Structure 1
């Protein structure tokens, strides 16, 4: 009970000191301040329009480069002014209004094609339609004043946001770094469970895939925040510190992916002797917990957690290797012992990165990790294409974006007509619910609908209880402000809680205007249920975009980027200094592509069971591509972090064959060309030569042991590890690429 209380207090403290709550407070101040000032100046009639302008243009103020943030808010201001003007000018003529809503909804929805920030600008535009429907302006003069005040509100919010960013310039950076540290820590803990729990591997593997997707998304945001900011304002000590943490997190992520072990081989090597793996599991788990503890220090003050524990665990891993060798005896124990040495080596590298993050948090100067040159950062930034061709590419019913735009437009128009036909009070709430709930895929729309309804009912029940207890307008005003802050703070973290606070805010605001607050509560619940129902039905019935139909291009991108990543890894093995940048850029693209495939598969699992066509086959495609990525990362990570021998001709021959195999799989997927594979003699000989090198090193080591040299020197150990890893990973990659071709043929035969 005491531990739960401590955990709750810590969670609450992290939330109150985090950027989400900070953003909620800022938005509340930005809205309340003009209301207060204009009331003092006896100009309160103008204040609501300014508040609406703030509310409309706040969504596009999300973490990212300052330039994109400013441009996004300016575009949002212009768009919301134009939409509000069109809706208000056509409002007197019902037919014109319906046409305006239809055309605007469709056009605004398509803006989302330009990326995440554009989707938030699109949301502001759709929100402008709803809020314009809630307002009556009888003449052109009052319309002009209203839209002018909306623009003024948007400009005020932009100014206030820039001022807040100047006061606390790195709030978003620290929050996203903290979130990434926490997710990476959770990822390492899941990886620890994968090592020793074969019966639960599928469950933990799926959890790991979800975490990988979330981590990759955070990495993209951090690249924009840290690298774009660095290009714009140059180096600063605080920026470099955050960049160093980010670089270590990327390295940890790659190391973890690179050591996605061949668990079937681990099981065959260790069988019932899993006790030898327990210390390695413990090491991963404790490093995960340590990263989570460090994530909290970026948000709240505190002491660095003790690191001495890792020295003890590392000694336990040493003992585990010796115990395994004693129990099995050499040479039979060699392969298992080398696998454990490779695992220990990986964990040692992980620990170095954890220590590097600790040094940054301690603000130790002259950190050993080299700073990234500004010109080298450019290839890591993902540029968004804003050309008109992007929209033209989506003008096809095969495009999920166009289908979503059509679906959303029909749902909005239907909701508006239904509300008008039934003469429902505040019917625009139906449209508002549709807009905030509806997403391109069915599963997320259904989940948000459920959370929206539950949150609204919870908010309505709490509001009813408060209204029954008191009729004090001062209480309503205070609660309206508090609920507004928490609504903005929680809407991204917990949609259900956010919806509850939004309902509370709306009820208390209306209670200040109309004493009969129960009517507001009643219609709020009814309109929310109607809107949610329309959104879910529209997603299911109108131009449904089931995920299995959209996977070809995502899988193709993964295979292509994996092929490029493997080629870059080959170049890295030949010359680290010249090719490390090419390798890291290829790595980033491959990780992002895999993240997109993971996300697509998660969306597939949220579709109705009847629409999860061949989900087991698709899961095989996902896991095969992920395993190929991990195997490539395993070679690349080893080469990058060790002094290696020169790459052999056999290595190049096998890499060329695997790359060709991946390209054949891509060709089959894209062009549906069947390719028949035969084992080439040259490839077989190359594998034999690589294996022979490892065998020769093993025989030499056996001779040394027989001669009484029981202690292995570092050079021999590293040569054995390298020969073992390269030979095994290439053999594994070859097998995986052949399996991928077979599964791709089966996949195309099913979905052709």
Structure 2
């Protein structure tokens, strides 16, 4: 019961629910006020204008949000005008529909915010079919009132943001910490759940993509939202929590362990890993709790469980050495020590978040140059060349725009010929459901149909209980608020609530509610079928054909990342910013690769060609990033010895292998390097460095010098990590080259 109450509290305090209230206020207020003043005839157009221009109101910089809504207002007014004037001339109407559908859907090439503006434009086209205006004066008056409604929504949005300026940012930070907490717990399972690793790794890919998406949005919100006059106390806190979340994510990524080696070393000693596993679980749960507190504003949880779990993890190292004995225990002890050091760093970042949330004095002080911050932003180009470059069948979005246009025209023509009641409901279903890839379209179609049936069933039950129009009006407002709040979290539930909303809104106009429900269900099914068939039959975009460029980008970013790590090892202070930028770019590249793979898994089985090979490429790229991150993380958090020539030789070899792999995919003829002897010597030298340090340590133990100095331990850890990780990275890069060679031959 307490859990359900907590979840309800989190939902009611969430920015998603706040957005639902914001839209409901913007829609209901003009209707109520104008009705009371005796101008109710103007209300529908203003309400439609407010509703149509809400989609572009998403978290981000205020400037981009305002620009998106203003562009949306202009676009919806233009499209409504064209459709209303064209309705009396069927051929012209079809031509207008085709041009609008194609051009407006192609706006999505400018990114996610643009895709929502595009959705507003397409939605206005469909709603225009439900509007009955005959004369030019009526049409222009209606369009003008729509523009007023759009500006009204902009004013409402701006006011609500000023009333709760931290709402969106806190929600994003909360979502991010919650996802990282889940990711930490999943990584704990990977340590010992040998049989479940493949399934867990696939779950990890999804979480990594979601975390990277949240981080990208937070960069825009936090870095572009800063005032020239400086940051407020809240800005400082949010920025510090964000930085810690990025550091935690990188640390987690840096410990993508060689699980085969773990299994080999701890084959019959898995119980020594339990303390490390438990610490990850405790930290993950603590992050989830902190995520909830960002919304709830309750007291911080006690940190004793964290400190106890860390202490147990440290004691597990001594217990392992005691049981296995040195020197045999050295390799396993170093693995446990490296794991402990990484978890200790994680705990420090979690405690940093705690200090910020507790308003500890001097906790919210951060120095970040404006020019440095701008380098972390992923800028979207808005020039005409972006659309021109996409006017090709090689472009996924071009094929989607074409497919969408044909589906819309087909549905409209069939609806007109068969005289289907409310044909625009079919068009509305297509707009909401159809996506560039088949899998997501199919998933949304299923959720939409199920949600519509559920909503219709609930609406029927309510209609049987009462025919009170006041009850219908109240339910229409509540269902609208909840549907907007849930549309990103649970599309099936949102679809049910949208159906309830539409039924009761129409029931206020048409007393025969059962007729409204019947047509709503039938039209939704027809629209969903058209969307699925169109995606499958018309210029289909199977993800297997879109992977090449994503893979090439991931390989290139991996190469840049490992070279940035090399520079970091040589001069830490000078190259730290460049390293962090390279890290951010490779994380995004891998996130895009993970997302592409997830879309591939949603395609029909018959279209998932070379699935195992592609999965191998995805996991190899992911493992490369983690292996590189483990070196970078160690360098940043420890005092290191000067980088050796052998280190540089191996890094250059790995970078060259990645270059060859990317050129193979691009269809080039890469130059092969015949330097195997030099590479082998570099590997042996690095390994010998560790062996010499180990031998010296053994000799000291034999002499009775059992105390291990911190510097000696760090040198042992460094030598072991560098030697093992570079050998592993070399092997991974070779495997990547072979896999890309096989894949390039297939494609």
TM-score normalised per structure 2: 0.99
Q: State the secondary structure of the residue aligned to 2:101.
A: helix
> Quick check: 128-137 or 318-327, which moved more?
318-327
Deviation per CA, 1:68-118: give whole Å up to 9, x if none. Answer: 000000000000000000000000011111110011100001000000000
Whole-angstrom distance in 2 between the partners of 1:674 and 1:746: 15
Whole-angstrom distance in 1 between the partners of 2:295 and 2:108: 32
Whole-angstrom distance in 2 between the partners of 1:522 and 1:138: 29
Deviation at 1:679, TM superposition (A): 5.5
The corresponding residue for 2:307 is 311
Q: State the secondary structure of the residue aligned to 2:706.
A: coil
Root-mean-square deviation (Å): 1.1
The corresponding residue for 1:538 is 534
CA contact (8 A) 2:475 2:501 kept: yes
The corresponding residue for 1:349 is 345
Matches within 5 A, 1:199-278: 199-230=195-226, 234-278=230-274
The corresponding residue for 1:119 is 115
CA contact (8 A) 1:668 1:675 kept: no
CA contact (8 A) 1:674 1:745 kept: no
Deviation at 1:680, TM superposition (A): 1.7
Matches within 5 A, 1:446-525: 446-525=442-521
Whole-angstrom distance in 1 between the partners of 2:379 and 2:407: 33
Aligned length in residues? 747
The corresponding residue for 2:84 is 88
Alpha-carbon distance change, 698 to 359 in structure 1, aligned in 2, over 3 angstroms: same
Partner residue of 2:382 out of 376, 379, 386: 386
Alpha-carbon distance change, 344 to 57 in structure 1, aligned in 2, over 3 angstroms: same
CA contact (8 A) 2:184 2:252 kept: yes
Whole-angstrom distance in 2 between the partners of 1:165 and 1:189: 34
Residue 330 (str. 1) matches residue 326 (str. 2): yes
Deviation at 1:376, TM superposition (A): 1.3
The corresponding residue for 1:180 is 176
TM-score normalised per structure 1: 0.98
> Quick check: 314-323 or 394-403, which moved more?
314-323
Whole-angstrom distance in 2 between the partners of 1:675 and 1:613: 29
Whole-angstrom distance in 1 between the partners of 2:392 and 2:266: 54
CA contact (8 A) 1:192 1:284 kept: yes
Alpha-carbon distance change, 639 to 231 in structure 1, aligned in 2, over 3 angstroms: farther
Alpha-carbon distance change, 687 to 286 in structure 1, aligned in 2, over 3 angstroms: same
Q: Which runs of 5+ in 1 are unaligned?
A: none
CA contact (8 A) 1:324 1:333 kept: yes
Whole-angstrom distance in 2 between the partners of 1:707 and 1:61: 71
Deviation at 1:371, TM superposition (A): 2.7
Residue 26 (str. 1) matches residue 49 (str. 2): no
Whole-angstrom distance in 2 between the partners of 1:368 and 1:463: 51
Whole-angstrom distance in 2 between the partners of 1:146 and 1:86: 13
Deviation at 1:315, TM superposition (A): 2.1
> Quick check: 5-14 or 557-566, which moved more?
5-14
The corresponding residue for 2:736 is 740
Deviation per CA, 1:36-62: give whole Å up to 9, x if none. Answer: 110011000000000000110000000
The corresponding residue for 1:62 is 58
Whole-angstrom distance in 2 between the partners of 1:96 and 1:379: 48
Q: State the secondary structure of the residue aligned to 1:298.
A: helix
Deviation at 1:674, TM superposition (A): 6.1
Residue 633 (str. 1) matches residue 622 (str. 2): no
Partner residue of 1:605 out of 601, 606, 609: 601
Partner residue of 2:650 out of 636, 651, 654: 654
The corresponding residue for 2:395 is 399
Q: State the secondary structure of the residue aligned to 1:221.
A: helix
Residue 362 (str. 1) matches residue 365 (str. 2): no
Partner residue of 1:15 out of 11, 16, 31: 11
The corresponding residue for 2:287 is 291
Whole-angstrom distance in 1 between the partners of 2:365 and 2:313: 27
Whole-angstrom distance in 2 between the partners of 1:487 and 1:693: 62
Q: Which runs of 4+ in 1 moved over 6 A?
A: none
Whole-angstrom distance in 2 between the partners of 1:242 and 1:400: 37
Q: State the secondary structure of the residue aligned to 2:569.
A: helix
The corresponding residue for 1:682 is 678
Whole-angstrom distance in 1 between the partners of 2:553 and 2:86: 46
CA contact (8 A) 2:233 2:364 kept: no
Deviation per CA, 1:699-751: give whole Å up to 9, x if none. Answer: 11001101111121111000000110011111111111111111111111111
> Quick check: 516-525 or 686-695, which moved more?
686-695
Whole-angstrom distance in 2 between the partners of 1:491 and 1:310: 36
Deviation per CA, 1:260-283: give whole Å up to 9, x if none. Answer: 000000000000210000000000
